[in-house]
Structure formats: structure tokens, C-alpha cells
Structure 1
């Protein structure tokens, strides 16, 4: 917040402020699934020659409590470091399967 609105800060593990942001992300990840702060966006993978969709990848998104999106490049490393990536992975698999069944 001290940096102002509409700006991006990159995580630098040597920067004490980035360390605080990492801790905040770790705390956010602990509540993210229960608070509906995690979502999936599906991206089709097409064969260029035929235009046919060959696969679909699920991309995870994380929102802060104020609705601001957190880039995966920031929250995935924190999730991996804290072990939250395991629960996020389980949630993603359950969600994809449930959405496929609903089709």
C-alpha cells in the first residue's frame, strides 16, 4: 500500500518489504479456498494447422480480499514454499472433475 495505487511490485527475497508481502500471501493462501479467493480459468490449446482444440489447461487465479488479482508468478512460489501448493492442487483437481461432470 505504501507504494501507492495502480502499481506492481516484484518479489525480491532480499527485500524486507517483499518478505512481509510473502508472509501476507502465505496467510492469504491459508484461507483462499474456503473464502472463494481461488478460481480456475480454462485455456484451450489448439492445433495450429487444423484449428482443432487438442486440450485445455486449467490456470489458477488468486484474488486478494479486495478483489485484486495476484499474479501466479507471485503466489505459486509462496504456495510451493509453504506447502499450500498441495491443497491448491487437490482443490484444482476436484474443481475440474466437478465441472467436467456438470457438462
Structure 2
């Protein structure tokens, strides 16, 4: 176990005081989950705001997303990952016929 310094992702005052862009935080969380699902093949199953911290390094200014409570993960089968990727592609097109097939 390790201590991680940061504020809850829902702490808008922390984001404002540290000049952290909310849209950048959303993008980073999306990238984090995309990496887990599509690249690594697993997912953190308890991602509520109390389990996600934001930390801005004072020296570098780098903003980090920190996941807490690693007690529940799910390994995702390759078939599910491919279907899920295809669903997102169909949603972004949008292709209603493909969405119904998936």
C-alpha cells in the first residue's frame, strides 16, 4: 500500500486553485480507461469520484490521475474488446444499423 497525494476528482475548488483544466482531466480519464480496456484488457470496476484523485506536480505542472481501491478488476475477453471498439466506432459515425447489430 502506498500514500498518494491529491484531491478528489469532484473537488472543483482544487481544480480551480491549481489552474487545472476540467476538459483535460476528462480527456485523461478517458485515455486511462481506453488504455485499460482496449490495450491491457482489464477494467477497474469501482470508478466513483471517491476512488479517483487528481494531483498536480508543483515543479513540473504535470497533472496525474490516480486510481484508488484496486480490489475489484475484471479481465475482458478479446471478443468483448473488439465488439466494444466496434460499438464506439458505430456510435461516432453514427451508424444506427451497425449499432443494432452489435
Judge same fold: TM > 0.5, yes or no: no
Question: With CA pairs under 8 Å and 6+ residues apart, which has the higher RCO, 1 or 2?
Answer: 2
Compute the TM-score of the two structures, normalised by the length of structure 2.
0.29
